[in-house]
Amino acid sequence: MENKSTLQKVYKDAIGGGLPGMVAMSVQVSTLMWLRTTVNYQYKYGTNMITALNTLYKQGGIPRFYRGYTAAILQAPLSRFGDTASNAGMLTLLNSYDSTKTLPISVKTLCASTTAASFRVLLMPIDTIKTIMQVEGKNGISILKNKIHINGYSVMFNGTLASSLATFIGHYPWFTTYNYLNSILVDYNEKYKSLLRSAFIGFSSSMISDTVSNSIRVIKTTKQTSQNHITYKNAIQQVIEKDGIKGLFGRGLVTKIMTNGVQGIMFSVIWKLGQDYYKLRYN
């Protein structure tokens, strides 16, 4: 009975963390996708932010920044549901047993990150459609169809290893920072102070996560959006030949930190509001 009760609590906390995460990510996609498109374009072509924005706008105005929106509005909330449900559910599970509840928060987050990275693999086909449309615009689907014709449907999973690694490496420092700051910073009863606290935690978490995982996302996007099937080695060589080691680690990083900083603040605030509502409504 104790195990059943524990699993019910894990399920409840996972849903209580996951559903607000989905809502928060849906809001982010609709309001900030233009920045995400800019980042992915920089990952592929290595330009600075202003050049990328101008180039994308010339290719089709405002709608160009929302190429792949349908895939994004499906993939992003689902992926964030996996991230937040994994984090909330795994923490509850590990905190439910005497043998694991005293583990360091970094170890608990490691378990959650592994779960989240595994979940992301299932979403790779949607991510591939979204990313190639962001990078190549209206030609993206044609390029993808040609790759499928030549190499089969396995190309829908191009970049899976890098994506899982990037998810793990991005998720782990994000939630380690989030969980750590959330555990040491005093929460406030006043709503605006509580939301400012969440915003600070979100921005700090995103900045650390982006810096650590950026190079892997550059490689993932380069492989995923290549017009021909290429290896990870080829993708790395392409980036280094054009922009050197600096490009491998720095492509789109400033835009990414700015974008995810805003997203991190927005996500943390909406997620916190959603979790509070869920607890009041269902506890």
Instruction: Using pLDDT thresholds of 50, 70 and 90, give the confidence band for residue 228.
Output: confident
Q: Which own/partner contact pairs does 262-265 have at CB distance under 8 Å and 24+ positions apart?
A: 262/32, 262/35, 263/28, 263/32, 263/206, 264/202, 264/203, 264/204, 264/205, 264/206, 264/207, 265/198, 265/199, 265/202, 265/203
Of 159, 122, 146, which is closest to residue 43 (Cα–Cα)? Answer: 159
**DSSP secondary structure letters along 5-51:** HHHHHHHHHHHHHHHHHHHHHHHHHHHHHHHHHHHHHHHHH---HHH
DSSP reduced 3-state for 283:
coil
Instruction: Using pLDDT thresholds of 50, 70 and 90, give the confidence band for residue 74.
Output: confident
Lowest mean pLDDT among 4-18, 21-35, 92-106: 4-18
**Count of all residues that appear for the chain in the document:** 283
Domain boundaries, the chain: 2-282
d(CA 208, CA 216): 14
Pick the CATH number of 2-282 from 3.40.50.880, 1.50.40.10, 3.40.50.1360, 1.20.272.10: 1.50.40.10
Instruction: Please state, rounded to an integer, the average pLDDT across all residues of the chain.
Output: 85
Range among 158-172, 213-227, 269-283 rated most confident:
213-227
Average pLDDT over residues 85-112: 84
Angle at 22 between CA 283 and CA 123, to 5 degrees: 130
Is the torsion defined by CA of 74, 203, 111, 220 positive or negative?
positive
> What percentage of the chain reaches a pLDDT higher than 70?
90
Each residue of 111-134: pLDDT tens digit? 888 888 888 888 999 999 999 999
Whole-number pLDDT of residue 1 = 45
Average pLDDT over residues 53-72: 95
d(CA 54, CA 73): 24
d(CA 4, CA 10): 10
Please count the CA atoms within 13 angstroms of the CA of 57 that sit on its side-chain side.
Answer: 7
Instruction: Using pLDDT thresholds of 50, 70 and 90, give the confidence band for residue 72.
Output: very high
Packing angle, helices 105-121 and 69-95, rounded to 10? 140
Each residue of 231-282: pLDDT tens digit? 999 999 999 999 999 999 999 999 998 887 787 777 777 777 777 776 777 6
Q: Taking a C-beta distance cutoff of 8 angstroms, is the pair 155, 225 a contact? A: no
Q: Is the pLDDT of residue 136 over 70?
A: yes
